[in-house]
Structures are given as C-alpha cells and as structure tokens.
Amino acid sequence: MHNPDNFLNITKYIRLIGHLHKYSCYKKIISHGSVDRLAQGEEGPKGWVVVTIYTDDTWDHKFVVNTNAYFFRSLDLSGKDMDTCDEEVKNLLIELGKRHGYICIQAELTDIATALFGKWKSQNPHGTWQFKPISTTKESQIIDPLKDRLDFQNLPKLSRANVRELVLDKISTMLDSDDPDYDNQLQLYAKELDEVINE
C-alpha cells in the first residue's frame, strides 16, 4: 500500500487519482470515483470533480453529481412484512422514474418478498429485475423438511380394533385442549366415528 502522506510532500496544489469507485478526499488527494455505475454495489453518488486554482496559490474543488448515472439499486427485504416490502419497492420505483435501471431484490427464500418479486417485476417494466436469495439462517437453525413426515414402515397396522383409537388420538391433537368444551367435542367425534365404523 502507498502512504498518501508521501504524495502530499511532492504535491503543490492537488493530486487527482483514479481507480477508486467512489468520491473521496484526503487533504490534497482527491478521487473523483467512477462517473457512472457499471454494476450492483456501486450505489453511492457518481460524478466528477471540478478543481479551481486561484492566483493566490489557494485551491478549491467541488464534486459534481452525475444525475444521469445508470441506475443500479439493491434492496434487502429480508424478514420484512408485505406492507414494508411494497413501500420500499414503491419508493425505489419513484426514484427510478421512467429511466431504465437494474434492480436487485435480496431476501431469504422463505421471506414474503420472494413471493412478491414476480408481481413487482411484471408491473414495472422500467428495469431489469434480479432476485438474489440470501441466507441469514445459521446452519444449526435449518429445519429438515422431512423430519415430520410419516414413517410408513413404523406405523401400526390398521384394524377394526385400533382404528377408532388412532383416529381419536389424532383428533385430540387438533382440538384446543384448553377449551372448556374439549371433552364434549371429543365425545361427539367419538360417537360419529362409532357410527362410521359400525355402518
């Protein structure tokens, strides 16, 4: 790495440098950054620097924002509700206006933004839309989707003798056990079940 202070010793007024992608200023060293956007991730202001050197050996500079810089925006909608997602996309589209631009929506696959992405894309043709799935879930938090599936090999064999109890056990898990009428509801289901079994 270069030490910028070494360049200050040999600079009378100002040193303009390139390569950096965004405007920055350190004492007499100025990077104008890129004048336009070429990709996602360059969402800060783009533009150029106008330098004025005065006859009294002083100088000044001004960063001029390129208001016509190509539009690239990334929007992280991870964990946000539908209203918030719609509001943030609406504000982004107001900023885009009638220009063409690149819009990247970032969210987890389980987020509501994932479901809304197609709607936003079809309703707003003034852009090239991209969806980028991200994951903030730690490996230890990932749930096995097959975990709760039935293991048919370990199910009890169904017979007239056990079908009533198996069905009533399942029904009992679906009812609210805190409901004061829980026992009555379970008895009604048992009676209806007896009628079906004995038909």
Q: What is the DSSP string of 51-75?
A: EEE-TTS-EEEEEEE-TTS-EEEEE
User: Which residues have C-beta within 8 Å of that of residue 100, sequence separation ≥ 6?
Assistant: 71, 126, 127, 128
* pLDDT at residue 143 greater than cutoff 60: no
* pLDDT at residue 87 greater than cutoff 90: yes
More confident residue, 149 or 43: 43
Q: At what angle do helices 112-123 and 82-96 cross, to 10 degrees?
A: 30
What is this structure's pTM? 0.50
Task: Give the pLDDT band (50/70/90) at residue 140.
Answer: very low
β partners of residue 35: none
pLDDT of residue 84: 93
Distance set, CA 71 to CA 32, 42, 99, 116, 127 (Å): 18, 10, 8, 21, 9
User: Element (H or E) spanning 161, and its range?
Assistant: helix 160-174
pLDDT of residue 14: 78
Q: What is the pLDDT of residues 109-120, one digit of tens each?
A: 888 898 889 888
Q: What is the DSSP letter of 139?
A: G
Q: What is the DSSP string of 20-54?
A: -SS-EEETTEEE---SS--STT--S--EEEEEEE-
Residue ranges of the domains in the chain?
4-65, 71-141, 152-197
- In angstroms, the CA 58 to CA 15 distance is 14
Do 193 and 167 form a contact (C-beta atoms < 8 A)?
A: yes
* pLDDT at residue 142 greater than cutoff 50: no
pLDDT of residue 136: 61
Percent of the chain predicted with pLDDT > 90: 11
User: Which residues have C-beta within 8 Å of that of residue 168, sequence separation ≥ 6?
Assistant: 186, 189, 190, 193
- The region of weakest confidence among 9-13, 145-149, 156-160 is 145-149
What average pLDDT does range 45-56 have in this prediction?
Answer: 88
75: closest CA among 91, 59, 64? 91
Q: What is the pLDDT of residues 166-175, one digit of tens each?
A: 888 878 877 7
What average pLDDT does range 39-49 have in this prediction?
Answer: 76
More confident residue, 118 or 18: 118
Average pLDDT, the chain: 79
